[in-house]
A and B are shown apart, each in its own frame.
Chain A
Amino acid sequence: QSALTQPASVSGSLGQSITISCTGTSSDVGSYNFVSWYQQHPGKAPKFMIYEVTKRPSGVSNRFSGSKSGNTASLTISGLQAEDEADYYCCSSAGGTTRWIFGGGTKLTVL
């Protein structure tokens, strides 16, 4: 199964908002509300940012929000800050609760 499709890179200026898309199929993103998003800084482990499409774990800034329409999920970061510069990955359940598929990752550059 191929990875979910994300743009390779996005950029935005300090204080602006950006949106990262994550496109799957009717077998994964389109079938399950189990889409999550992860932030990864260079050389570090991923950090859990969004779960069940729209929910934020405790401690994650409300500048991060998620949504989904059909086979495409999205992560929006508002009020961009320098520390938001990182790689972002989406992940979806694929075929029930035991199989998972990640997106190819998006590099966010904060200008």
Chain B
Amino acid sequence: EVHLVESGGGLVQPGGSLRLSCAASGFTIRNFWMGWVRQAPGKGLEWVANIKEDGSEKDYVDSVKGRFTISRDNARNSLFLQMNSLRAEDTAVFYCAALSYMAFDIWGQGTVVIVSS
């Protein structure tokens, strides 16, 4: 059975940093574009970032460009999101997802990020 498990969320002060991790099992991520999607409390889904199978292409939603960095380690079957200069509006559940058929096919259970003083 395929699984994605996120970790690394928590409470951080505005301006702080967090590094989210996403570990895959039951499949190998090297065959997939991977991405992060977030959901603020009581709000809808928002695409955050994507990374190509080999890491050669990355893209971000405008609101996180220059602050967040997506990366992957195919050997460790893992995806990462380095988040710097965090703001209150970054508070959300962050989901990692594998893309296939040009859609977010496999989702993790999410990790909670709270940015507050």
Contact = CB atoms under 8 A, between A and B. Distances in A.
Interface stretch (A9-17, A46-54, A67-75, A78-86): A46-54
Interface residues of A, number: 26
B109 A100 contact: no
A91 interface: yes
Contacts of B45: 38, 40, 46, 89, 91, 102, 105
A102 B37 CA distance: 10
B107 interface: yes
A93 interface: yes
12 contacts: A40-B45, A45-B109, A46-B45, A46-B95, A48-B103, A52-B101, A91-B103, A91-B104, A97-B102, A100-B50, A102-B37, A102-B47
Interface of B: 33, 35, 37, 44-47, 50, 52, 57-59, 62, 95, 101-110
Interface of A: 1, 3, 34, 36, 38, 40, 45-48, 51-52, 55, 57, 89, 91, 93, 97-105
